[in-house]
Structure 1
Amino acid sequence: MIDTLTSLRFIFATMVFGAHCYVIDGFFDAHFFKEGFVGVSFFFVLSGFIIAYNYQKRLQDKKITKRTFWVARIARIYPLHWLTLFLAAISGGYVVASGVLDWFGHFLTSLTLTNAYIPEAGYFFSFNSPSWSLCCEQLFYICFPFLVPLARDWRRLLGVSGLAAALIVAGMYFTPENDIKGYWYVNPVTRLPDFLVGMLLFRLYERLKDRNIGRLQGSLLEIGSVALFLAFYFGAAEIPKVYRYSCFYWLPVAAVLISFSLQKGMLSRILSNRLLVAGGEISYSFYLIHLFILLSYAEWQKETGGHIAWYIAVPLLFCVVIGLSLLSYRYFEKPMNKRVKSLLNR
């Protein structure tokens, strides 16, 4: 694993946390925080890079089978997803549904990670709403072994990705405002190009990783990529949101990812800090747990009329999420990963 990219997972997960803090205080209902949904785009592009980094050659050389790959990914995403889904279902406040049959329909699609294919917020944001992104990841994992032959030739992969990008931009332009989230933000099929961008970046990484890049050059690349990302981030308010959901951020996210994957600059030394890497390791738990905690606190505020200043409440809630994520990672996520692999590989 590349430590700098693991640390970036934590940083972008924190941005998603900030994007959701508006549920507890209006201070966070501002572009600086709410634009943090870009963290999801980063995760999708990173997923394409890391999956290619870990599995592409092994699948090409037939050192592992498709089944082994799929089992590894099931063991990675499903145990914690099901745990948080059941907790959300038991709590009773995280689904929009009318009637028992409708409730079970929402639950079944969430259980099988198919809810994001239905362009209705009542489905794709039901129960533990961040789990919609796992629907996308599941499609990426299903497709990846079949994309490996395509990835042998970077020109062919680039051509397919370019065609997909052109179709997406055209489709976004003609989509009514009320439908953009259902069709372009959460839909797994239309988020597949994000994953392809990550696969393309891995091919670029292969060409650059052994280059003699000095500390100064590496530092300039990293600083430049961060500056580019921030320019896009702060200038995004003028861009229609439909593009910001994915394609607008491909370039700056790609620049950040490739520059830090090389681990040549001074910023990489900072991101290689053990605590930041540990934060990246628990980022999956953090991502699935954080909104549950924020919404629970918001409900407490509503029911009791209690109020704690946001500059006290948010750091406390952040620490609670970190603590729960550490416990989840160590005592549930890792053990269940091993158990599911063992069970399915029999």
Structure 2
Amino acid sequence: MAQSRLQNYIPALTGVRALAAYLVFISHYSYVFDENFPQTVKRFFGEFHIGVTIFFVLSGFLITYRYYNHFHLTTDWFKQYLKNRVARIYPMYALLTIAAFVYFYFTGDQAITKGNNPIAMLIMNITFLRGFFYNFWDTGIAQGWSLTVEECFYFSAPFAFLIMKKYRQFWLQPLVITLTGVLLVLIFRNLNFYGFFGNFTFVMLFTFLGRCFEFFIGIQLALYMLRNGFERGNKIPYTYLGFIAIFVCVYIMALQPVPAGWAAGLQHPVGIFTNNYILPICIALFFYGLLTEGSIMKKVLSNSFVELLGKSSYIFYLVHLGWMYTLLHTWMNNGNDYAFELYDKWQKDWISPFQNDQVNLLIAFVVLNIVSILLFKFIEEPLNHRIRHSNFLIKYKKREAEVIHEVVS
């Protein structure tokens, strides 16, 4: 089996996580690019939400790459699998979500609750259930909606593996999952139950039922690599072809008219199709190049510092938008006001260090990365290790299957 020829750890794919998180960061703050930037450029930056799709394809690849050849759907295996998933995803999400609601308690910032009952919203966020409701999906840590999608994939992946192995059915699965989402919209869109599977755009972009194809592309890439290993004979530069193709997809979405009530070309039907079905294939080509080629991009993404940024990128993703950034932005505004008060007092006409929004964004980017690295080193990594070596769900014992070093999304 080609598994013996595969690497156990792929630094470049850890670096890709940092790239994906930073793309999402740019998409959320593309508005700081003022009138000096052409509208097309601002629209282009606004479609950098593609970082989420990169995460989803990467998750499909890494979960399959790590577990598929060691897969046995027994109670103990499933408990160990869930334990690993909880250790990886939940501790920091829970801590930062609770912090968001503490922030709401002291500030009353309606961005956290969207006017809903805060206790109910805290429960909906902590349990990931908010991701199924159009009215609640962007409460708490707004970008955390993607974790509901991830968790749905984590729970369903072992069963997808079972169906693949037992019934040799692969592409039928995402078709059935997507059609299930369509059926749920047809059932619930007229019930108005807090937007539970309330409309097609929401389901296709913010739920696993709509975005499952992205994970299955990652799964397919992993299965191919498990069969064939990292060596190949041709010299086609898949890394750069895939990378260019990714941004062609971005450009296509940037050209689409923004539907009423939404924020980007992504939400246009052409944008949905491009993001959910064309873009994942381009990302898979990019990953395939990183896995099988010695490109400059691979060397950059494998750099030890970029690798550290990749390891802390999960936290960066959770803090780059929301209460922590709002606090930073508030402090910068206050600093700007204080600076001009001093200038007036001194009768000087100087430039405030916090006067330029683009510079402020760069400062926030650096500060949030530092915070993310510190939280990763002193909280996330120790908690991850502690949970994995605890008796949570299943009694800890060192197993040969756990020798594989995990770098999962």
Q: Establish whether TM, by shorter chain, passes 0.5.
A: yes
Alpha-carbon displacement from aligned partner over 1:223-260 (angstroms, at most 9, x marks no partner): 21112222222222234333345224222122212221
- Structure 1 residue 35: Cα displacement: 0.7
How many angstroms apart in 2 are the aligned matches of 1:187 and 1:111?
17
Instruction: Kindly tell me the number of residue pairs found equivalent between the two proteins.
Output: 336
Instruction: Give the letter for the 2:317 counterpart.
Output: Y
How many angstroms apart in 2 are the aligned matches of 1:212 and 1:235?
31
Structure 1 residues 248-259: aligned runs within 5 Å: 248-259=278-289
What residue is the counterpart of 2:121 in the other structure?
106
Residue 19 of structure 1 contacts residue 33 of structure 1 at CA under 8 Å; is this kept in 2?
yes
Give the 3 Å change call, closer, same or farther, for CA 196–132 of structure 1 in structure 2: same
How many angstroms apart in 1 are the aligned matches of 2:288 and 2:232?
15
How many angstroms apart in 2 are the aligned matches of 1:64 and 1:265?
41
How many angstroms apart in 2 are the aligned matches of 1:179 and 1:208?
41
Structure 1 residues 1-346: aligned runs within 5 Å: 1-22=9-30, 30-60=42-72, 65-92=77-104, 93=109, 94-98=111-115, 102-120=117-135, 123-152=136-165, 156-161=169-174, 179-213=199-233, 217=235, 220-239=237-256, 240=268, 241-292=271-322, 293-300=324-331, 306=337, 308-341=355-388, 342-344=390-392, 345-346=394-395
How many angstroms apart in 2 are the aligned matches of 1:165 and 1:16?
25
**Given the two structures, how large is their TM-score scaled by the length of structure 1?**
0.85
Instruction: Give the letter for the 2:128 counterpart.
Output: L
Give the 3 Å change call, closer, same or farther, for CA 155–262 of structure 1 in structure 2: farther
Instruction: Provide structure 1 residue ranges, at least 5 long, that are not aligned to the other structure.
Output: none
Instruction: Give the letter for the 2:152 counterpart.
Output: L
Give the 3 Å change call, closer, same or farther, for CA 212–179 of structure 1 in structure 2: closer
Residue 243 of structure 2 contacts residue 286 of structure 2 at CA under 8 Å; is this kept in 1?
yes
Q: What secondary structure is seen at the aligned counterpart in 2 of 1:317?
A: helix
Residue 97 of structure 1 contacts residue 106 of structure 1 at CA under 8 Å; is this kept in 2?
no
Residue 151 of structure 1 contacts residue 199 of structure 1 at CA under 8 Å; is this kept in 2?
no
How many angstroms apart in 2 are the aligned matches of 1:336 and 1:9?
20
Structure with larger Rg: 2
Instruction: Give the letter for the 2:311 counterpart.
Output: E
Residue 263 of structure 1 contacts residue 269 of structure 1 at CA under 8 Å; is this kept in 2?
no
Question: Which region of structure 1 is more displaced relative to structure 2, 45-54 or 289-298?
Answer: 289-298
Q: What secondary structure is seen at the aligned counterpart in 1 of 2:355?
A: coil
Residue 160 of structure 2 contacts residue 173 of structure 2 at CA under 8 Å; is this kept in 1?
no
Give the 3 Å change call, closer, same or farther, for CA 98–235 of structure 1 in structure 2: closer
Instruction: Provide structure 2 residue ranges, at least 5 long, that are not aligned to the other structure.
Output: 1-8, 190-197, 257-267, 338-353, 396-409
- Structure 1 residue 150: Cα displacement: 2.5
How many angstroms apart in 2 are the aligned matches of 1:269 and 1:289?
28
Give the 3 Å change call, closer, same or farther, for CA 205–167 of structure 1 in structure 2: farther
**Given the two structures, how large is their TM-score scaled by the length of structure 2?**
0.73
Instruction: Give the letter for the 2:211 counterpart.
Output: R
How many angstroms apart in 1 are the aligned matches of 2:134 and 2:316?
26
More helix by share: 1
- Structure 1 residue 212: Cα displacement: 3.5
Give the 3 Å change call, closer, same or farther, for CA 166–187 of structure 1 in structure 2: closer
